[in-house]
Each structure stands twice: as structure tokens, then as C-alpha cells.
Chain A
Amino acid sequence: MGYNWNWGVFAEMTATGDDTYLGWMFYGFKMTVALSLSSWLIALALGAVVGVLRTVPNRWLSGFATAYVEVFRNIPLLVQLFLWYFVMPELLPESLGNAFKQTNPIMQQFLASMVCLALFTSARVAEQVRSGINSLPPGQKNAGLAMGFTLPQTYRYVMLPMAVRLIVPPLTSEFLNIFKNSAVCSTIGLLELAAQGRQLVDYTAQPYESFIAVTLAYLLINVVVMFGMRWVEERVRVPGYLGGK
């Protein structure tokens, strides 16, 4: 069909002369990984807290947690990202907003993307934590309380250690999602993998090579995460449960 395949394009120097095109791709790859991992850590911590709050008997706390989850689940990721990047700095107190606008633009894009992905994912993690806690037999909580533990102690020593092990498999798919969702951040100009792929199309006029390379890079991330999480899953499996030893 008259297309000139040229895989050698990745070894060429870029038009700006500072790196090879492969170097650009690698920069995007590192950005995707750094963004996804840092957001994931925040999402896990926040999601655990919100998920626990959804199950506590206090109506105000569980109401707050429910509202949190509903807000982050019912607004598209792209809209949330634009709200963090364009709207949040305007709503902050002036000094903070200005401080944000004066930082390095790459830092601004990274911070907005990280906060956005972290909160978006934390709502989903919270749902998994909640269903993990709710799947425990009610006797566990009652037994903990009957032993004289306070409610926080029962969560800390009885329910959470069990729930955390049960929710590892569903968390794997959320972990995979955060890498895929990070591609949305290319829309605010963050030069992660998908954005570098687009940039290569503009600069090299070799769209097939660059898109195939980016797609393969995402597949690679996917495979590595899946094998890593399978290793974790085997380690934390609860004997006697479905899929347990």
C-alpha cells in the first residue's frame, strides 16, 4: 500500500537535536511509570481510609465516605483532570494558586495528573476495601468486640488483616487501570507515553512505527504488572477460601 516502513527512525536524532526518538519514547515510558506508581500509593492509602469509613456505624462518617465515592465515580476522568489542572488553581487562596502557577510547567502537569489519578482511583479502591470488609463473617467483628477490643482495635487487629488479603485480586485490576488511565494525562500536555507517541507522528511522519511501539510498551507494562501481582496474590492467599491453598 505504498507505505515506507522505517524502524530505523527510533535511532535518529530528534528535530530539536537533544535526544534520539527512542530517547523520547523512553522519557514518556518513565513518566507513565512514575506517575502511575506515585498515584497508586496515594490511592491505596486514601482508598483504605475511605473504604473503612464507609463501613463504620457513625452515620456522618459513612455518609461523607459515600459522597466521596459517588463524586469521584460519576464524573469522567478527563473532566476531573481538567478541573484539577485549570479550575483548582483559581479556586485556591490567591497565594497558593499563584505559587502553583509559578512552578515549572512540567511539575504543574505532573502534580495535577497525580492528584487526579490518585483521587479517581482511591474511590475505586475504597469500594473494594468496603466489599472486602463486608464479605467477612459478622462473627469476626462481634468476637473482636466481645474480647474487649475497641472498634478501632477490632478493625486494626481482626478485620483489616483479613480483608486486605481478600481484596488483592480485585486490586490487581485497579492497578492495571491506573497505568491505562494515565494516558488521559496526555491531554493537558504531560509528555507521557501516549503523548510521546503522538509527538513522534508529528515529527517523523512514521505513524505506524511509533503507534506500534507505544502500544507494545503498554502491553509490556500490563504483562509485568500481571506477573508481579500474581506473585503477590500467591503469597497472601487465605487458605480455605476460593482460590486459596
Chain B
Amino acid sequence: MDQFDWSSIPNALPFLWDGMKISLEITVTAVIFGIIWGTFLALMRLSPVKPLSWFAAGYVNLFRAIPLVMVLLWFFLIVPHLLESIFGFPRGSDMRLSSAIAGFALFEAAYYSEIIRAGIQSVPKGQMGAASALGMTYGQAMRLVVLPQAFRNMVPLLLTQGIILFQDTSLVYVSALADFFGAAYKVGDRDGRLVELLLFAGAVYFVICFSASRIVRYYQSKLKTA
């Protein structure tokens, strides 16, 4: 085994930081859109209108049965061509970042919707009954009474799912997009220091995800005692 040589990391830090910004950008946008779309899916799933509920169930089960890598490959290799031929986008325009965000958001929405559905169902039935008794419509009762309580209980689970999503963003590697992991791999490959850069990347992911999950756990324990 050769001696470790960490010297290529300090110079590469700005490049790695650019990669980290891409990872975070994908995570944050996908979490926001995933929760919004996931809420709609959960409401559809619980709705008394059968076709809506079937659509949501089909969507969620389909996305939960396919590997994320396959979803990303669909979005990198096939969806851009589809958009080119339908909307006449210029051929070969770089849509990798937006494809990645769209793919992650649509994929994660399936997982978020299951968390949100369980959250809505954990709100006591009497809440809905009381709201209707006060003359609220179904929509008002959901929006003003049920969802606020459901979300309060769901925050730790939604954040944990966000941490998982942050880890999964490394899979944009399949499109050669330079997120944090992609950047680390490129630097390591260029300098012949793959071992050091991969160990560094693993350590950085560990520190971020471990601290984030500790914070979530602390928040969860406060939520319980409150």
C-alpha cells in the first residue's frame, strides 16, 4: 500500500464546494416539490373519488417498485429526447440538472405521499367531524384543521426522508453531472488519488448525514415531550 497523499484535496476544495452546491440544490428543490406533489397524491389517495384514488395508488406503487437508478436513467436518456421532439427544444441542450431535479421530485413524491397519508390518517376522526359540524367544507377542514396537525407530527419523518434523498443525490453520477460525489471522483481520477478522494467524500457525507439525523432526533424528542 502506498502512503496516503491528501495534498490534492485543499486545491480542489472550491471545485468540491461547487459540487456540494449542486447536491444541495437538487436536494432542497426535490424535497420542496416532492412534499407538494406528495401531499396532492396523498389527498387523492384518500379521496372518495375512485379514479383519483386509483391514479394515486398506481403512481405510488409504480415509483416504489422501480430502482431510483432506473428512474434517473429514464430522465437522463429518454425524457430529454421526448421533450425535444414534442416541444422542439434545441437538440443537445444541457437539461441534466433540471432532469435530475424533476426525476428526484417525482420519485420522492411517491415516498413522501406515503408518509403524509399515514400522518393524515393519524389525526383523530373527530377533528374532521368537528370541522364539518362547524360548517367547513371538506377542503377547508383538510387545509385548516387536519393538515396542520398532520404535518406537525410528520416533520421528523419528512426530514429523515430528506437526509435519505441527500444521500441518493450522489446517484446523478450516472449522468456525469458534477455533484459533490461526481466532483470528488473527477478530482481523484485526474490526480490519481482516487483512494484519498473517495475516503474524503465518504467522511463528508457521514459527518453531514450523521449530524443532521442527530438534530432530527433531538427535535423529535422535543416534539414528544411538548
- Are both chains from one complex? yes
At the interface, yes or no: B205 with Cβ under 8 Å from chain A?
yes
Q: Which residues of chain A are near B70, meaning CB under 8 Å?
A: 183, 194, 197, 211, 214-215, 218
A151 touches B (CB below 8 Å): no
As a 0/1 sequence over residues 60 to 103 of chain A, the CB contacts with chain B under 8 angstroms (1 = contact) are 00000000001101111111101100110011011001000000
Give me 8 A-to-B residue pairs in the complex whose CB atoms sit less than 8 angstroms apart, sorted by A's number. Answer: A1-B82, A1-B85, A76-B168, A78-B170, A79-B202, A83-B202, A180-B66, A211-B73
Interface footprint category on B: 35 or more
Does B209 touch A at the CB level, under 8 Å? yes
Q: Contact at B77–A74, with CB atoms within 8 Å? A: no
CB-defined contacts of A187 to chain B, threshold 8 Å: 69, 173-174
Complex interface bits, B198-226 against A, C-beta within 8 A gives 1, otherwise 0: 11011001100110010000000000000
Q: Measured between alpha carbons, how far is A215 from B68 in the docked complex, in Å?
A: 11
Q: Is A131 an interface residue (CB 8 A)?
A: no
Alpha-carbon distance A32/B1, docked complex (angstroms): 33
Name the one of A79, A194, A218 contacting B205, with C-beta atoms under 8 angstroms.
A79
Please tell me if the beta carbons of A79 and B181 are within 8 angstroms of each other in the complex.
Answer: yes
Tell me whether A86 and B195 are in contact (CB under 8 A): yes
Does A219 touch B at the CB level, under 8 Å? yes
Q: A75-B202, A87-B195, A198-B73 are in contact. Are A2 and B85 (CB under 8 A)?
A: yes
Give the residues from 179 to 209 in chain A that come closer than 8 angstroms, CB to CB, to chain B. Answer: 179-184, 186-187, 194, 197-198, 201, 207-208
A108 at the interface (CB under 8 A from B): no
Q: Interface 1/0s, chain B 55-67, versus A by CB < 8 A?
A: 0000000100111
CA distance A214 to B77 in the complex (A): 14
Structural contact, B66 and A186, CB atoms closer than 8 A? no
Q: Mark A152-183, 1 if CB is under 8 A from B, else 0.
A: 00000000000000000000000010011111
CB–CB A74/B195 < 8 A: no
Tell me whether A222 is interfacial, beta carbon within 8 Å.
yes
Cβ of B210: which chain A residues have Cβ within 8 Å of it? 70, 74
B85 and A79 contact, CB distance less than 8 A: no
Kindly count the residue-residue contacts between A and B in the assembled complex, taking CB atoms under 8 Å apart: 109
Whether, in the assembled complex, B104 has its beta carbon less than 8 Å from a beta carbon of chain A, the answer is: no
Q: Are B81 and A207 in contact (CB under 8 A)?
A: yes
Asked if A86 contacts B198 (CB within 8 A), the reply is: yes
* A: interface residue count bin: 35 or more
Q: Which of B2, B69, B198, B209 contacts A183 (CB 8 A)?
A: B69
Indicate whether A86 sits within 8 Å of B73 (C-beta atoms), given known contacts A79-B181, A187-B174, A218-B66: no
Tell whether, in the assembled complex, residue A76 and residue B68 are in contact, meaning their CB atoms are under 8 Å apart: no
Contacts A74-B213, A186-B69, A207-B77 known; A79 to B198 CB distance under 8 Å?
A: yes
Residues of B within 8 A of A176 (CB): 65
Which of chain B's residues has its CB closest to A173's CB?
B64
Q: Which residues of B lie under 8 Å from residue A76 when comparing CB positions?
A: 167-168, 170-171, 181, 205
Q: What distance in Å separates the Cβ of A19 from its nearest Cβ neighbour in chain B?
A: 22
Does A180 contact B67, Cβ atoms closer than 8 Å? yes
Encoded as 1 (CB less than 8 Å from any A CB) or 0, chain B from 164 to 193 comes to 000110110110000001000100000000
Alpha-carbon distance between A183 and B174 when the two chains are bound, in angstroms:
11
Most buried by B among A2, A78, A176, A182: A78
Closest 4 CB pairs of A and B: A183-B67, A76-B167, A74-B209, A180-B67
**CA gap between A105 and B69 in the complex, in Å:** 23
B171-A184 in contact (CB<8A): yes
